[in-house]
């Protein structure tokens, strides 16, 4: 769009040859001119004192051209006469200026400032290097700044050329707007034709019609809705394990992750699932020793009346709960036998009472065990335990005398002559096959030679209880068989034993008797009415 230049010439007083101002003529290169303010030529100053082109002035009389006009910098300066545009410097054009009633004159005047004027094409923006550009919400004229600086409030910016060539340098408003926009916070949104849109919070530059809605409880994009269609943040929610379907949700101005009910901050449930969504399942459980998850999840080491233990991923029965014992040694039924604790001291008794509830009648910790069926080599120093008993009573007595223990003997027949050790008690009637249960019906037999059991020099109390002791027959002439052969044994105590001695040998033939005397006959004697033969 062409725009005429409105030029005020500084007027003082009229001179004698002043003429009326005639209508403004149309310049061939700029179109119709804007009507000019009356200008009068006053008496000339001496030629030597006249000011030259661009000199500051206060009136026409001071200028050699007789014209003092406003320049682009806002100051009144002397201009000069011109015949064509080439007579004027850059930034000025040759324009006709009428003089009061006369023919007027052509002078150099500042080029019309079309910067930030609405436009539809580059040709409407003055100089051929000026461009019509989108600025704000409309198209406005920019100004070439290749050689001249931009006016105050404008910045020289690089604009991409339409033909793909070198960028064009154009003056653009620093505010980014040409037309009016009431915008207190300076974000180019507010009230006015050139605002980029509405602004519903002029105290916050992040809130306007061009903003992206974020989850903060604020209508960021001024569409009268809050936190709608917000962009989902990446990496906010856990996405592994049971959280694979979890997605963030904006709630009350903040992000929240809606996890399933199986989600746990730390792994608490052993269920083969990654409940804490860290990529690992059940990492907080030690399957080697955890009795609730032994070897795998939910494999509980539960035994009736007993504490379960997990050893190297396998369940084992641990301690029995008070009042119960594991008599049969089978883990499947736990501690199956009820036991009422009586005393810490438990000496094997005829009633087979487990007084200290250690699983057998007697003190399990102070016993050397003997079992003729499952026993091991007598020379094994580790023998003598419940699980590794000795095979012979004699081996058990030898070990017990060293360890200060007693000897508990399982059922069966022991073909050996047993010699007691002073102070080492010997108890039979146990059944090793049933966790060393003791019962009156269980028979432990010592079948020795002609001496079944030998007790010599037994001073300290030494008890033998619940055995069947059998000695072999002694067929030797005058030979004897002793079920129990005891000498110098005041400390020997035999209790609830069946002792069977074998047959002795035949006696030595007797010697012939002395020759007898013949005596006279003895007469019959009568006492009362009965007849008796006197001796």
3-state SS of 184-223 is CCCCCCCECCCCCCCCCCCCCCCCCCCCCCCCCCCCCCCC
- How many Å apart are CA 384 and CA 400, to the nearest integer? 9
Query: Got the DSSP string for 465-514?
Result: ES-EEE-----STT---EEEEEES-TTEEEES-EEEPPPPPPPPPPPPPP
Question: Quick one: pLDDT at residue 46?
Answer: 62
Strands (E), 119-257: 132-135, 138-141, 143-144, 154-159, 168-173, 248-251, 254-257
Share of the chain above pLDDT 70, in %: 87
Q: Is the pLDDT of residue 268 over 80?
A: no
Q: What are the distances in angstroms from CA 87 to CA 7, 36, 54, 84, 333?
A: 19, 22, 14, 6, 122
pTM over 0.75: no
- How many Å apart are CA 308 and CA 290, to the nearest integer? 10
H or E element at residue 401: helix 393-403
What's the CA angle centered on 283, arms 281 and 284, to 5 degrees? 130
For residue 501 the two structure tokens come to 């001695």
Strands (E), 353-404: 367-370
Per-residue pLDDT tens digits for 334-375: 998 888 889 999 999 999 999 998 888 999 999 999 999 999
Question: Quick one: pLDDT at residue 524?
Answer: 55
What's the CA angle centered on 268, arms 263 and 269, to 5 degrees? 80
Distance from the Cα of residue 38 to its chain's centroid: 88
Per-residue pLDDT tens digits for 137-147: 778 899 999 98
Q: Is the pLDDT of residue 156 over 50?
A: yes
- How many Å apart are CA 357 and CA 378, to the nearest integer? 29
- How many Å apart are CA 478 and CA 480, to the nearest integer? 7
Q: Is the pLDDT of residue 534 over 70?
A: no
Per-residue pLDDT tens digits for 88-138: 998 888 988 876 555 778 999 987 778 888 889 998 887 888 999 998 777
Per-residue pLDDT tens digits for 383-429: 999 999 999 999 999 999 999 999 999 999 999 999 999 999 999 99
């Amino acid at each position: 769009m062409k725009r005429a230049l409105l030029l005020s010439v500084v007027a003082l007083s009229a001179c004698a040859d002043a003429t009326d101002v005639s209508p403004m003529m149309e310049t061939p290169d700029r179109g119709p001119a804007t009507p000019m303010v009356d200008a009068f030529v006053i008496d000339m100053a001496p030629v030597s004192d006249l000011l030259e082109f661009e000199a500051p002035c206060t009136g026409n009389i001071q200028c050699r051209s007789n014209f003092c006009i406003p320049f682009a910098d806002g100051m009144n300066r002397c201009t000069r006469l011109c015949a064509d545009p080439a007579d004027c410097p850059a930034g000025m054009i040759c324009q006709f200026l009428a003089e009061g009633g006369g023919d007027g004159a052509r002078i150099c005047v500042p080029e019309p400032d079309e910067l930030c004027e609405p436009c539809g094409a580059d040709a409407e923006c003055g100089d051929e290097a000026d461009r019509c550009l989108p600025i704000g919400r409309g198209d406005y004229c920019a100004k070439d700044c290749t050689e001249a600086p931009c006016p105050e409030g404008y910045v020289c910016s690089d604009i991409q050329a339409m033909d793909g060539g070198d960028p064009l340098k154009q003056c653009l408003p620093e505010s980014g707007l040409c037309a009016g926009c009431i915008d207190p916070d300076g974000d180019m949104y507010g009230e006015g034709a050139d605002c980029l849109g509405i602004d519903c919070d002029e105290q916050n530059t992040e809130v306007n019609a061009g903003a992206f809605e974020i989850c903060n409880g604020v209508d960021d994009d001024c569409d009268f809705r809050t936190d709608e269609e917000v962009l989902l943040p990446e990496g906010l929610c856990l996405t592994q394990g049971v959280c694979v379907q979890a997605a963030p949700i904006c709630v009350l101005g903040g992000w929240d992750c809606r996890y399933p009910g199986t989600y746990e901050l730390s792994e608490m449930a052993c269920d083969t699932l990654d409940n804490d969504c860290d990529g690992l399942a059940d990492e907080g459980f030690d399957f080697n020793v955890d009795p609730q998850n032994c070897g795998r999840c939910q494999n509980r080491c539960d035994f009736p009346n007993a504490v379960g233990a997990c050893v190297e991923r396998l369940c084992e029965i641990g301690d029995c709960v008070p009042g119960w014992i594991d008599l049969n040694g089978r883990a499947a039924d736990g501690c199956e036998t009820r036991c009422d604790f009586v005393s810490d001291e438990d000496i094997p008794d005829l009633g087979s009472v487990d007084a200290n509830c250690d699983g057998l009648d007697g003190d399990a910790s102070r016993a050397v065990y003997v079992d003729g069926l499952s026993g091991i080599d007598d020379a094994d120093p580790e023998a003598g335990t419940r699980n590794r008993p000795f095979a012979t009573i004699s081996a058990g007595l030898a070990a017990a005398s060293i360890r200060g223990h007693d000897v508990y003997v399982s059922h069966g027949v022991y073909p050996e002559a047993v010699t007691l050790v002073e102070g080492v008690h010997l108890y039979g009637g146990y059944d090793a096959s049933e966790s060393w249960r003791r019962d009156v019906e269980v028979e432990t037999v010592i079948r020795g030679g002609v001496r079944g059991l030998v007790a010599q020099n037994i001073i300290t109390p030494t008890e033998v209880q619940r055995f069947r002791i059998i000695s072999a027959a002694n067929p030797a002439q005058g030979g004897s068989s002793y079920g129990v052969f005891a000498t110098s044994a005041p400390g020997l105590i035999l209790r609830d034993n069946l002792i069977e001695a074998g047959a002795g040998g035949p006696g030595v033939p007797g010697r012939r008797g002395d020759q007898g005397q013949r005596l006279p006959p003895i007469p019959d004697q009568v006492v009362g009415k009965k007849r008796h033969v006197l001796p």
